[in-house]
Structure 1
Amino acid sequence: MSSPRQVLEASAAAHQRGDNAALAVVVDSEGSTYVRAGAMALFGARDGQVGWLSGGCLEPEIEARAQLAATHARIEWMDIDTRDDEDLMGGSALGCRGRLHLALLPVASLVEWPALVRAWRNGEGALGLSIAGTGTVIASVGAKRHEARIDTASSSNHSWQVQLPPPRRILVFGGGPETPTLLPLLQTLGWMSTLVERRPRWLPEARHADALMELAPESALSACSREAFHAALVMNHNFEMDREALHALAATTIPFIGLLGPGRRREDLFRVLPASMHEALLPRLHSPVGLKLGGQGPEAIALSIAAQLQALRLPQ
């Protein structure tokens, strides 16, 4: 499935363009399913479907109902149950034994949707959705709240709540050969990236990041909320710039710090850093950063770093 970031950003863009689009939200699930409650997919946007709720087997049926939701400006409901043997052995032969309950929301009816997605993207809070069977939809991010009353294809007194934590944020010290692969991959996985780079040679790599800071590490950390980042990567391919970055990061509480390069590089850097910083950095330092997946070159390194970040259970 696509990351919530991709789906939400696409839905906000569809709203602003006036696309005849609908947002499919999984409000409940049971058994073995491709996704769980809170998963989303967008149908009817100009650029096509964004996000997946199955391996492709359910999407045609969901898309048809989503078109009804968008065209008639009403909430459509779907209950997809594949727990019986008939579903396993015949018909569409999905091979899953589970149930999905979906709410299909007409994007145009969510008047403040782009502003809420922007607030969520900026880390102002989790996106909360309360969807009632009577057609009341309440969306909130931090102090921002929007309530919409939408026609509904069927009515019930039940309501469902889903919540999406804000996207994880990463601070990357240094552009380099890995950046063109790593940053788009992290974006696909839902991360928001800020590149800290002031060398003219590597400034063009900022096109792959969500933000650029042409500052020294200490100044960059002072200019932003240090607590806003879930991870930092030190990958300048320059010993002195790596030292500056680790020196600045020692005073933060960023829970994951990845250092590019062999273990010998970490040892050399620690020789020129105060002992107090060793204690501050070591519990959070991953060096060499990246999982041992095999392969050589910047693309393989980028994949190994993204895989390690994806495997972590970082606090939201």
Structure 2
Amino acid sequence: MTALRTVMDASLVAHRHDQTATLAIVVQTEGSTYVRAGALALFVTDATPVGWLSGGCLEPEIARCAAEVAQRNALGWMCIDTRDDEDLFAGSAVGCRGKLHIALLPLRQLQQWPQLVAAWQAGQGTLHLQFVDEGVVDASLGLHRQRWEFAEVESFHDAPALAAVELQLPPPPSLLVLGAGPETGFLLPQLRTLGWMSTLIERRPRWLAQAQHADAFIRGSFEDLPHAARFDAALVMHHHFDMDREALTALAATAIPFLGLLGPRRRHDDLFKLIPDALQARLSPRLHSPVGIKLGGQGPQAIALSIAAQLQLLHSGERQ
């Protein structure tokens, strides 16, 4: 499943350039399906879709219907059922045995969409989409409220309009990185594709160019961490003993649930010799040192992959 932020980012670009585009949203599923309710994909006319709702087998038909509703500025409904046993013997089976209910929203008709997405990216809350009536969709996020009313509703494959259905799209996970290094240029792009929003704090001139890989950048100290409560994870990656100590001391005062320290276990032990016991007690339950999953390999690429894998486990709720 493509990360929600990837589709959201693409929708902002399409909206900004007034492209003919349709947001496809999985509203309900039955049986075995490639994605779950809440999955999104963006279909731009004469362009490759952003996001996948199947393994590629259903996208051509979804694209055809999406182009039609985009041209007509209509709300579209699709129902794709791949549960028929006859398909298995007719050579047309798609691999999944399930049913997808998909809403198709023409992007040009979604007033205030950029404002909603910007608030979602900033971690201001969950984006709620409620299909109130046959042609009415309510959107809300925090103090943002928007109602979209469609004069025309199009049904494909005899799909019924699903009213009184609400979807909740949680904000993207957020990461605070204290200190750049050789791994940064590999790690942050990987995490972007997995849906993470990143903020980098760095003050050393040698590493300032790494800011290009982060969504936000602070050139300076970490003594006053920016809205630290909103971060899901923080990484200490200076490759510098004293700066790592300062960073851990600052993080001890936050409530960030996952803290990762780059380097061998000996580095952790040496750092803790210089950190007061009270701060150690606040750090230890949250601190992963060394950060990353043992996948094998050496060098910044392998280290970045191991950290990205651990953060993906964190975000998915799976246990290592």
The interval holding the TM-score normalised by the smaller chain is over 0.9
Q: Which amino acid letter does the alignment assign opposite residue 195 of structure 2?
A: G
> Hey, what does 1:3 align to over in structure 2?
3
1:85–1:201 CA distance, 2 compared to 1 (3 A)? same
Deviation, 1:314, is: 7.4
Deviation, 1:101, is: 0.4
Match of 1:303 among 286, 302, 305: 305
Please say if residues 19 and 46 of structure 1, whose CA atoms lie closer than 8 Å, have aligned partners that are also in contact: no
1:295–1:26 CA distance, 2 compared to 1 (3 A)? same
Deviation, 1:167, is: 1.0
> Hey, what does 1:18 align to over in structure 2?
18
1:130-149 pair list within 5 angstroms? 130-149=130-149
1:314–1:256 CA distance, 2 compared to 1 (3 A)? farther
Give TM-score scaled by structure 2 length.
Answer: 0.94
Counterpart Cα distance in 2 of 1:32 and 1:90: 20
1:83–1:295 CA distance, 2 compared to 1 (3 A)? same
> Hey, what does 2:193 align to over in structure 1?
188
The aligned length equals: 312
1:80-229 pair list within 5 angstroms? 80-150=80-150, 151-154=152-155, 156=161, 158-219=163-224, 221=225, 224-229=226-231
Any gaps of 5 or more consecutive residues in structure 2? Answer: none
Deviation, 1:227, is: 0.6
Please say if residues 135 and 152 of structure 1, whose CA atoms lie closer than 8 Å, have aligned partners that are also in contact: yes
Partner deviation per Cα, 1:203-248 (whole Å, 9 max, x = no partner): 00000001111121213x1xx2111100000010000010000000
Any gaps of 5 or more consecutive residues in structure 1? Answer: none
Secondary structure in structure 2 of the residue aligned to 1:166: coil
Counterpart Cα distance in 1 of 2:18 and 2:250: 45
Counterpart Cα distance in 1 of 2:17 and 2:6: 17
Partner deviation per Cα, 1:45-93 (whole Å, 9 max, x = no partner): 6763110001111101100000011011101111111112123333432
Deviation, 1:9, is: 1.7
Deviation, 1:313, is: 4.8
Counterpart Cα distance in 1 of 2:26 and 2:283: 40
Secondary structure in structure 2 of the residue aligned to 1:283: coil
Please say if residues 120 and 126 of structure 2, whose CA atoms lie closer than 8 Å, have aligned partners that are also in contact: yes
Counterpart Cα distance in 1 of 2:253 and 2:95: 51
Residue identity over aligned pairs, in percent, reads 58
Please say if residues 131 and 162 of structure 2, whose CA atoms lie closer than 8 Å, have aligned partners that are also in contact: no
Deviation, 1:108, is: 0.5
1:77–1:278 CA distance, 2 compared to 1 (3 A)? same
